[in-house]
Structure 1
Amino acid sequence: MKQVKFISLSFIVLWTTIVVKLILLSRLCLKLQDLDWREKLALQNYNLWRKENEDGNSDSTVRLIRDQIIMARVYVSIATMKNQTDLARELQNRLKESQHALRDASSDSDLGPSAPERIKSMGQVLSKAKDKLYDCKLVTGKLRAMLQTADEQVRSLKKQSTFLSQLAAKTIPNGIHCLSMRLTIEYYLLSPEKREFPRSENLENPKLYHYALFSDNVLAASVVVNSAILNAKEPEKHVFHLVSDKLNFAAISMWFLLNPPGKATIHVENVDEFKWLNSSYCPVLRQLESAAMKAYYFKSDHPTTAGSSNLKYRNPKYLSMLNHLRFYLPQVYPKLDKILFLDDDIVVQKDLTGLWSVDLNGNVNGAVETCGESFHRFDKYLNFSNPHIARNFDPNACGWAYGMNIFDLKEWKKKDITGIYHKWQTMNEDRVLWKLGTLPPGLMTFYRLTHPLDKSWHVLGLGYSPTVDKTEIENAAVIHYNGNMKPWLELAMTKYRPYWTKYIKVDHPFIRSCKLSE
Structure 2
Amino acid sequence: MVRRNLVLGLLCLTVLAPIVLYTDRLSAASNPSSNDEVLDEVSGLKLTNSVKEPVGVIYFDNSSNSNQIPTDRVDGFASSTTAELPLGKSEEHKSRVLSAAVDERSWPEREAVIKEVTNGVTGNGLGKPESVEEHKEMGSQQTIPNSIPAKEENEFEKQHRQTSPRNNPEKQQTILIKKSSDMTIPDARVRQLKDQLIRAKVYLGIGPIRANPHLVRELRLRIKDTQRVLGDATKDSDLPKNTYEKLKAMELILNKGKQIQDDCAAVVKKLRAMVHSSEEQLRIHKKQELFLTQLAAKTISKGLHCLPLRLSNEYFSLNSSQQQFPYREKFEDPDLYHYALFSDNILATAVVVNSTICNANNPADHVFHIVTDRLNHAAMRMWFLANPPGKAAIQVQTIEEFTWLNDSYSPVLKQLRSQSMIDYYFRTHHATANSDANLKYRNPKYLSILNHLRFYLPEVFPRLSKVVFLDDDIVVQKDLTGLWKVNMKGKVNGAIETCGESFHRFDKYLNFSNPLIAKNFNPRACGWAYGMNVFDLDQWRKQKITEVYHYWQNLNIDRQLWRLGSLPPGLITFYNHTLPIDHRWHILGLGYNAQVDLRDIESAAVIHYNGNMKPWLDIGMPKYRGYWSKYVNYDHIFIRDCNINP
TM-score (norm 1): 0.86
| Secondary structure in 1 matching 2:548 | helix
How far apart, in 1, do the equivalents of 2:264 and 2:595 lie? 42
Uncovered stretches (5+) of structure 2, i.e. residues with no partner = 1-179
- Conserved 8 A contact 1:302-1:308: no
Which of residues 294, 300, 306 in structure 2 aligns to 1:178?
Answer: 306
How far apart, in 2, do the equivalents of 1:130 and 1:272 lie? 75
**Partner residue in 1 for 2:639:** 511
Q: How many Å apart are 1:55 and its aligned residue?
A: 7.1
Query: What residue identity is the alignment partner of 1:148?
Result: H
In the TM superposition, 1:106-255 aligns within 5 A as 106-108=234-236, 111=239, 115-255=243-383
| Secondary structure in 1 matching 2:494 | strand
**Partner residue in 1 for 2:490:** 362
C-alpha deviations, 1:368-421, integer Å up to 9, x for none? 000011111111111111111111111111100011000000111111111111
Alignment pair present for 1:337 and 2:465: yes
Query: What residue identity is the alignment partner of 1:235?
Result: P
Q: How many Å apart are 1:280 and its aligned residue?
A: 1.1
Q: How many Å apart are 1:60 and its aligned residue?
A: 4.0
**Partner residue in 1 for 2:395:** 267
| Secondary structure in 1 matching 2:312 | helix
How far apart, in 1, do the equivalents of 2:503 and 2:429 lie? 30
C-alpha deviations, 1:320-355, integer Å up to 9, x for none? 010000001111110000000000000001101010
Which of residues 305, 314, 321 in structure 1 aligns to 2:449?
Answer: 321
How far apart, in 2, do the equivalents of 1:495 and 1:302 lie? 41
C-alpha deviations, 1:416-445, integer Å up to 9, x for none? 111111111111110011011010000000
| Secondary structure in 1 matching 2:338 | strand
Q: 1:303 to 1:368 in 2, by over 3 A?
A: farther
- Conserved 8 A contact 1:215-1:242: yes
**Partner residue in 2 for 1:419:** 547
- Conserved 8 A contact 2:203-2:209: no
- Conserved 8 A contact 2:433-2:439: no
Q: How many Å apart are 1:108 and its aligned residue?
A: 4.8
C-alpha deviations, 1:244-271, integer Å up to 9, x for none? 1011111111110000000111110011
**Partner residue in 1 for 2:59:** none
- Conserved 8 A contact 1:278-1:285: yes
- Conserved 8 A contact 2:458-2:537: yes
Q: How many Å apart are 1:474 and its aligned residue?
A: 0.9
Q: 1:338 to 1:302 in 2, by over 3 A?
A: farther
Query: What residue identity is the alignment partner of 1:393?
Result: F
- Conserved 8 A contact 1:301-1:308: no
C-alpha deviations, 1:47-73, integer Å up to 9, x for none? xxxxx9x97445444333322111100
**Partner residue in 1 for 2:202:** 74
Q: 1:439 to 1:355 in 2, by over 3 A?
A: same
Aligned length: 467
Q: How many Å apart are 1:86 and its aligned residue?
A: 3.7
Structure exhibiting the larger radius of gyration computed from Cα positions: 2
How far apart, in 2, do the equivalents of 1:187 and 1:60 lie? 63
Query: What residue identity is the alignment partner of 1:513?
Result: D
| Secondary structure in 2 matching 1:314 | coil
Uncovered stretches (5+) of structure 1, i.e. residues with no partner = 1-51
Indicate the larger mover: 223-232 or 97-106.
Answer: 97-106
**Percent of residue pairs bearing the same amino acid type:** 59
C-alpha deviations, 1:175-230, integer Å up to 9, x for none? 11121111111111111121110000000000000000001100100000000010
Q: How many Å apart are 1:129 and its aligned residue?
A: 1.0
Q: How many Å apart are 1:237 and its aligned residue?
A: 0.5
Alignment pair present for 1:393 and 2:393: no
Query: What residue identity is the alignment partner of 2:376?
Result: N
Indicate the larger mover: 283-292 or 95-104.
Answer: 95-104
How far apart, in 2, do the equivalents of 1:192 and 1:419 lie? 39
Query: What residue identity is the alignment partner of 1:99?
Result: Q
**Partner residue in 2 for 1:372:** 500
Which of residues 585, 588, 599 in structure 2 aligns to 1:471?
Answer: 599
Query: What residue identity is the alignment partner of 2:547?
Result: G
- Conserved 8 A contact 1:300-1:308: no
Alignment pair present for 1:406 and 2:538: no
C-alpha deviations, 1:296-340, integer Å up to 9, x for none? 223215655971695433311110010000001111110000000
Indicate the larger mover: 212-221 or 301-310.
Answer: 301-310
**Partner residue in 2 for 1:63:** 191
Q: How many Å apart are 1:103 and its aligned residue?
A: 3.9
Which of residues 409, 423, 435 in structure 2 aligns to 1:295?
Answer: 423
C-alpha deviations, 1:19-55, integer Å up to 9, x for none? xxxxxxxxxxxxxxxxxxxxxxxxxxxxxxxxx9x97
TM-score (norm 2): 0.69
How far apart, in 2, do the equivalents of 1:176 and 1:80 lie? 60
How far apart, in 2, do the equivalents of 1:472 and 1:96 lie? 46
How far apart, in 2, do the equivalents of 1:320 and 1:513 lie? 29
Query: What residue identity is the alignment partner of 2:249?
Result: S
How far apart, in 1, do the equivalents of 2:615 and 2:305 lie? 16
**Partner residue in 2 for 1:92:** 220
Q: How many Å apart are 1:450 and its aligned residue?
A: 0.4
- Conserved 8 A contact 2:441-2:565: no
